[in-house]
Chain A
Amino acid sequence: MPLSTLAIVLFALTVFGFLFGQRRAVAFRAESRARNGPPLHSQPGYHGWFVVIWCGLPALVLLLVWVALEGTIIRSLVIDSLPPEVKSRDESEIQLIMAQLGNVAYGVVTLAQVPETIRDAVASGVGLYNSLRATANAAIWVLALSLCIAGLLYARRRLSPHLRARHTVERVANVILFLCSLIAILTTVGIVLSLVFEATRFFARVPVTEFLFGTVWSPQTAIRADQVGSSGAFGAVPLFAGTLLIATIAMIVALPIGLMSAIYLSEYAPPRVRIVVKPALEILAGIPTVVYGFFAALTVAPAVRALGEAIGLQVAAQSALAAGLVMGIMIVPFVSSLSDDVINAVPQSLRDGSYGLGATRSETVKLVVLPAAIPGIAASFILALSRALGETMIVVMAAGLAANISANPLAAVSTVTVHIAALLVGDQEFDSPKTLSAFALGLVLFVVTLALNLIALRVVQAYREKYD
């Protein structure tokens, strides 16, 4: 029977357990009142939750762990049982066999539809696969139900007028809260582990030095051994250079405009203007990046090209300038809202002092407010840069795949994120250097943005302490 049914049964049992515990406590209370005895330690609801903790929680945890691991374990058991000559084939073929095996077992395809080369292997495994699945299904039903009922019985024995149910419940709740906050750490660990693991597999085939310092990027590897000229080159320098070029253009657009907008909004703008401009900037910030990408490819790139050709310049159809320009527009609200916060945090007394000495507004801004706010503004610039480096959709749609080393903003360049996306989109075998290289690129991206974020956080913290 499907696991969803099991989940519903367990849920029903847990609800029953809650009501049971609550009723018992109400009965205890009535009894105690009749004898003029002491009041209950905990409210009846806590007795209910106490039962839930014993009967629902362990079964739920078991079920989740089971669902997470069942597939992997059954898979490895089936692979172990395959005949030795099948096991000795290479990894991608075993993956294919397992995929087909799953399809046959779930009735998506019949055995006759499986390609002939692997039909025998699939046929040999499918019986074991099905029987293991059936056993696993029966086992989880028995285990989860017995765990649930055992918990119910145990909790029933523990229920008494003296039970300090609230203490138990609150302690458990506390642990659950802590575990929830750990999920953020787990995510980071997961990111680091998956990137490092796959990147190590990549670096086992391509040396780190070639990846970091090589100047040719063409990840096409030969499909057949005798194929000519496609051994694959994994020098990522062109991608790093392209990323830097586009991010630099974006920052050249975003920094002055973002900062000046923030200054104007916080120091000059009359309330009427603020009321219109602030939400408009928020809209600009809320527009999904895929929309910016479409805008870049449809409007900005042709416009840049037409403009360039009008003054006699050679402009690539997917120029770095167009992508950088649009990315800059995307980052403007980000810079401006961060800088706005920082500028507003500068105490008014500093401004008043400056005005008192006869300084104009712009002098106050340039000589008093900005120097006081500089750490925060620097942090916002760093965060903006980290965002520009990690931005994907705009460059995927407007920058293209040409991995050139060029400092010319009118040439076509490509970025790290574009190639991560290009290498992994679509069905690909998973253990070729080609796909693994995407994880190495991801690792570089992650490390760089992480470093930038840490620096920015440090700067902001130092700044905060100064004025709090």
Chain B
Amino acid sequence: MTELAAAAPAGAEGASLRPSTRDLSPHMSDAARARLKTRYRAEQRFRAYGIAAISFAMLSLVILLWTILSNGTTAFFQTHIRLDVPVGADRLGLQGSGPWTPTELRLASWDRTINLAMQERFPAVTSRADRNLLSRMVSPGAGEDLRNMVIADPALIGRTVQVWALAASDIDMFWKGHIRRDVPEAERRVNDRTVGWIDDLTARDEIRSQFNTRFFTSASSVRPELVGVAGSVVGTLMTLLVCMALAVPVGVLAAIYLEEYAPKNRITDIIEVNINNLAAVPSIVFGLLGLAVFLNFFGMPRSAPLVGGIVIALMSLPTVIIATRAALRAVPPSIREAALGVGASKMQVILHHVLPLAMPGIMTGTIITLAQALGETAPLLMIGMVAFVTDIPNSVTASATVLPVQIYMWAGSPERGFVEKTSAGIMVLLVLLLAMNAVAIYLRKKFERRW
């Protein structure tokens, strides 16, 4: 060592005078140097492959999220047109002079009232075809909004009310720039006359974007401007609740049995192999199980969150069991031995000591499993949760859909307006997932214990 250390500077200074140890070493011949160079180059290449792989994965994630965000954010705003609507009893087709019952008001001609107001806003438009075009600029949602406004305050009848009327989806798409002006008229969903009217509205500041509250309060619809996630979010929560009520207790108890009680024998082996296999069965097969057993054999209702919850619970059971077993295993044996030593029975050891200590781990694992279950689509398609549901479901046996299936259905709709709604639905889904994972991480950080 000392010899080498002494020789190195000498070699560096006086290489020409006498051969240094560097030159004498067989590892320092020209051939060896060349070899080393290739080896280092190979090293660099290998490292670059690794970086490339990671970059590809990260880039995919970024592109995916960017696609969703750039398409979806506009869905939270919806275009509205300012209208002065004379709310006359004659226009609404109301008989007599009031007061009218809410039923009469509900059945009145709200769309016609809005359309008349639209025609008065554009008095130059006279031909029948153009008037049709004009009336298609506003969504039926505008009539509904006006109706709700008047039912809440019947005194408005007979007065002229200024409303921001919900624009139809095509107008909305044009205003947001998804339908481009420079496309030839024949290929554009909004024709030149309509564009002229929109310009007229723009010039007078009578068209604007408003926050889309409807998206959070209503269920699905055939019209992109009217859809909302409330129905499917409620369906999702119900399904998750059923899933949780079944999978968590059964999974935790099964894990306790396997981890603490199970004797080492064939039956236990079979159960363990079984659970591991079940965790890797394709989810669509669980859908087939649900269809054949719960719908056809037991005659449970189609499209119900109850059945969806059961199917998802069976699917997440293995994962809950595996997570719980890991948490139980993490509790050190000394705890068990100490409890046994002071005379506790096995059940008491587990219920009073092991389980409470493993609880944070169990909860974290369970929440992450439920988050996965939340995104599950295929098995729910099988049991008919693709039903077109325009109401918010009110019980676990009512027809319902869940958010991922809703996203799937919107994604299959041809209208341009559904692209942004689908993306926005995905954003809501991802936020729910993130929230659940954040809770899990918080629990882990807060209660994590190193033994």
**A residues apposed to B, CB below 8 Å:** 68, 71-72, 75, 166, 169-170, 173-174, 176-178, 180-185, 187-188, 190-191, 194-195, 197-198, 256-261, 263-265, 268-269, 273, 277, 280-281, 283-284, 286-295, 297-299, 329, 332-333, 336, 360-363, 365-366, 383, 386-387, 389-393, 396-397, 417, 420-421, 424-427, 430, 438-439, 442, 445-446, 449-450, 453-454, 457
A258 to B273 CA separation, bound complex (whole angstroms) = 26
**13 other contacts beyond A72-B298, A185-B271, A257-B56, with CB at 8 A cut-off?**
A71-B298, A177-B257, A184-B274, A264-B50, A265-B54, A298-B71, A298-B411, A362-B46, A363-B43, A421-B378, A425-B384, A439-B292, A442-B288
| SS class, residues of chain A in contact with chain B | helix
Question: Is B197 interfacial (CB 8 A cutoff)?
Answer: no
A169 to B386 CA separation, bound complex (whole angstroms) = 45
Which 5 A-B residue pairings sit nearest by Cβ, starting from the closest?
Answer: A390-B282, A288-B375, A264-B50, A194-B292, A260-B53
| Nearest-Cβ distance from residue A298 to partner chain B, whole angstroms | 7
A261, B54: Cβ atoms closer than 8 Å: yes
B50, A260: Cβ atoms closer than 8 Å: yes
Q: A298-B67, A457-B277 are in contact. Are A261 and B53 (CB under 8 A)?
A: yes
| Nearest-Cβ distance from residue A50 to partner chain B, whole angstroms | 14
A365, B288: Cβ atoms closer than 8 Å: no
A396 to B372 CA separation, bound complex (whole angstroms) = 19
A188, B284: Cβ atoms closer than 8 Å: no
Q: A283-B61, A295-B64, A299-B67 are in contact. Are A446 and B51 (CB under 8 A)?
A: no
A267 to B147 CA separation, bound complex (whole angstroms) = 66
Task: List residues of B (285-320) whose CB comes within 8 Å of A's CBs.
Answer: 285-289, 291-293, 296-299, 314, 317-318
Note all chain A residues with C-beta closer than 8 A to B258: 181
Question: Is B345 interfacial (CB 8 A cutoff)?
Answer: yes
**Closest chain A residue, CB of each to CB of B276:** A457
A183, B419: Cβ atoms closer than 8 Å: no
Note all chain A residues with C-beta closer than 8 A to B251: 180
29 contacts between A and B (CB under 8 A): A71-B298, A177-B257, A184-B321, A185-B270, A190-B293, A191-B288, A194-B289, A257-B56, A257-B57, A261-B54, A268-B47, A280-B58, A284-B60, A288-B377, A291-B407, A291-B426, A297-B411, A361-B43, A363-B43, A383-B280, A387-B282, A390-B282, A390-B283, A421-B382, A424-B288, A438-B288, A442-B288, A449-B280, A453-B277
Please give the number of chain B residues whose Cβ is less than 8 angstroms from any Cβ of chain A in the complex.
90
Partner of A445, one of B262, B278, B285, B381: B285
**Closest chain A residue, CB of each to CB of B250:** A180
Note all chain A residues with C-beta closer than 8 A to B297: 72, 194
Question: Is B149 interfacial (CB 8 A cutoff)?
Answer: no
B254, A261: Cβ atoms closer than 8 Å: no
A430, B296: Cβ atoms closer than 8 Å: yes
B257, A417: Cβ atoms closer than 8 Å: no
B262, A181: Cβ atoms closer than 8 Å: yes
